[in-house]
C-alpha cells in the first residue's frame, strides 16, 4: 500500500477502534449493583466485538507490512517500527488473557468482575497509546520533507 493509502486506512481503522473501545469502556465502568446476568452477557459481547476487530486489523497489518513504507522512507525509524510490532504481539497476548478472564466471570463474582473491568480499562489505554505511537510515526514519515532545499 502506498503512503496515502496507508494514512487513510490507519485513520479509518483507528476511528473504528476508538468507537468500539468506547463501547467496551462504557460497559466496564458501569458495573451494576443488582443482577449482572444481562450486563455480563453484554460485556462479553462488546469485548468479543472489540477483540475480533483488533485481531482483523493485526492480521492485515502483519500481512500487508503496514509500516513498510515508513521503513522504506525513513530507515532510521526501523527500531521504532520493531517496537510497535513487538507491542502488537504483547497486546495480542493481553487480549487472549482478557478473553479468558471475561468469559470465566460469573454474575456473583464481585472482586473478579471489578478486577477484570480494571484490566480491560488498562488494556484499552495500552491500545490507545499504541495507536497514537503508530500515528505519530506515520505522520512524521509522511509529512517530513526529505529533499534537499537550495
3-class SS shares of the chain: helix, strand, coil, % to 5? 85, 0, 15
82 with 12: CB under 8 angstroms? no
Q: Confirm whether 150 is domain-assigned.
A: no
Task: Please tell me what DSSP assigns to residue 42.
Answer: H
User: What's the Cα-to-Cα distance from 116 to each of 18, 44, 47, 59, 77, rounded to whole Å?
Assistant: 20, 11, 11, 26, 35
51 with 93: CB under 8 angstroms? no
Number of residues assigned to the chain: 150
Number of domains, the chain: 1
Dump pLDDT digits (tens) for 64-121: 676 777 788 888 888 998 899 899 999 999 999 999 999 999 999 999 999 999 999 9
Q: Which residues, 6 or more positions from 140, have their beta carbon under 8 angstroms from its beta carbon?
A: 74, 77
Q: Confirm whether 120 is domain-assigned.
A: yes
104 with 40: CB under 8 angstroms? no
Dump pLDDT digits (tens) for 1-23: 666 776 777 788 888 999 999 99
CATH number at 57 reads 1.20.120
Look up the domain containing 14 and give its range: 3-141
Q: Confirm whether 146 is domain-assigned.
A: no
Please give the span between the terminal C-alpha atoms of the chain, in angstroms, as a whole number: 31
Q: Confirm whether 53 is domain-assigned.
A: yes
Q: What is the pLDDT of residue 149?
A: 46
Amino acid at each position: 500500500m502506498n503512503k496515502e493509502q496507508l494514512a487513510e486506512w490507519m485513520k479509518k481503522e483507528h476511528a473504528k477502534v476508538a468507537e468500539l473501545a468506547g463501547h467496551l469502556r462504557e460497559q466496564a465502568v458501569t458495573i451494576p449493583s443488582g443482577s449482572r446476568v444481562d450486563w455480563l452477557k453484554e460485556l462479553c459481547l462488546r469485548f468479543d466485538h472489540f477483540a475480533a476487530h483488533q485481531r482483523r486489523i493485526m492480521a492485515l497489518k502483519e500481512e500487508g507490512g503496514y509500516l513498510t513504507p515508513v521503513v522504506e522512507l525513513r530507515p532510521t525509524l526501523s527500531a521504532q517500527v520493531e517496537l510497535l510490532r513487538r507491542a502488537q504481539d504483547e497486546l495480542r497476548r493481553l487480549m487472549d488473557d482478557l478473553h479468558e478472564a471475561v468469559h470465566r466471570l460469573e454474575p456473583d463474582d464481585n472482586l473478579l468482575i471489578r478486577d477484570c473491568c480494571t484490566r480491560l480499562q488498562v488494556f484499552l489505554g495500552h491500545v490507545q497509546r499504541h495507536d497514537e505511537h503508530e500515528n505519530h510515526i506515520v505522520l512524521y514519515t509522511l509529512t517530513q520533507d526529505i529533499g534537499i532545499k537550495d
